[in-house]
Amino acid sequence: MKEGITVVKIGGNVIDDAAALKRFLGEFASLPGRKILVHGGGKLATRLAERLELKVRMVEGRRITDKGMLDVVTMVYAGLVNKQIVAGLQAAGCNAIGLSGADGNIVTARRRSPEPIDFGFVGDIERVDSDLLGRLLETELTPVFPAIMHDGCGTLLNCNADSVASAVALGAARLAPTDLVYCFEKRGVLRDPDDEQSVIAEITAESYPPLKADGTVSRGMIPKIENALKAVGQGVRSVTIRSSEGLGDGSGTVIR
């Protein structure tokens, strides 16, 4: 497989907005070459859990996934949301196929240690089957992954969608040059958080430490950039952090 591969990850800010999702899927479908989509779940799982009178528990902004919540997130993320996205891509002319990690045994994860915090049925990615991924792409199918993986022993696990995207991109990088795109609320990493035009065009391993030291990069953006630098260090060609709007316009912050 000679041409490059693009892996794009979207989150709840797109999934929870029907008009934004439809626009995004049209733009994603128009991207040239081989591509893979990874998506989060949005707020629907929380709303469904509340209707089922399941207690939603969060620790440090992260969801505790007990057995009842695992059933809900599997139904919503790997079921309803995934199939709505696949159907939307089909309507946009992109031959998509929805896959949890269990399908084809394409991605396996291990349950996270209960120490120091027991997050329940939450997993960390262990392996991506690059050969199967390559065969799907060679048949011009576009894989669409929710963040529901499995441990290979019959247990489904709720994983972090950013981590899934990174692992899938590393798996794709074994096949061809691969670019990873994280879509979030802003136009990119901003030098001034109040100025949407102050996008930092490029961040490297050399330029990042001063940005962190002077507070330009802080809080939740730190793990995003550090994970991006790690992905680049392990073989992904580039990582872009950007808005989901105008997907193919080349904007955003590129990490190389």
The reported pLDDT for the residue numbered 2 is: 56
What does each of the 256 residues of the chain score in pLDDT, given as a tens digit?
Answer: 458 999 999 998 999 999 999 999 999 999 999 999 999 987 899 899 999 999 888 787 677 899 999 999 999 999 999 999 999 999 999 999 999 999 999 999 999 999 899 999 999 999 999 999 999 999 999 999 999 999 999 999 999 999 999 999 999 999 999 999 999 989 999 999 889 899 999 999 999 999 999 999 988 888 889 889 999 999 999 999 999 999 989 899 999 9
Preceding omega of 116 cis (within 30 degrees of 0): yes
The reported pLDDT for the residue numbered 1 is: 45
Domain span holding position 24: 5-255
CATH code, domain carrying 160: 3.40.1160.10
Where residue 33 falls (left for φ over 0; alpha for ψ -120 to 50; beta otherwise) is left
Residue whose structure tokens are 């081989």:
34
User: Rounded distance, CA 130 to CA 249, Å?
Assistant: 29
The reported pLDDT for the residue numbered 221 is: 86
In the chain, how many domains are there?
Answer: 1
The reported pLDDT for the residue numbered 3 is: 84
In the chain, which ranges are continuous DSSP H helix? 12-15, 18-30, 44-51, 67-73, 82-91, 130-138, 161-173, 208-213, 221-234
Q: What is the DSSP string of 83-145?
A: HHHHHHHHHTT--EEE--TTGGG-EEEEEPP-SS---BSEEEEEEE-HHHHHHHHHTT-EEEE
User: Rounded distance, CA 147 to CA 77, Å?
Assistant: 7
User: Rounded distance, CA 23 to CA 248, Å?
Assistant: 12
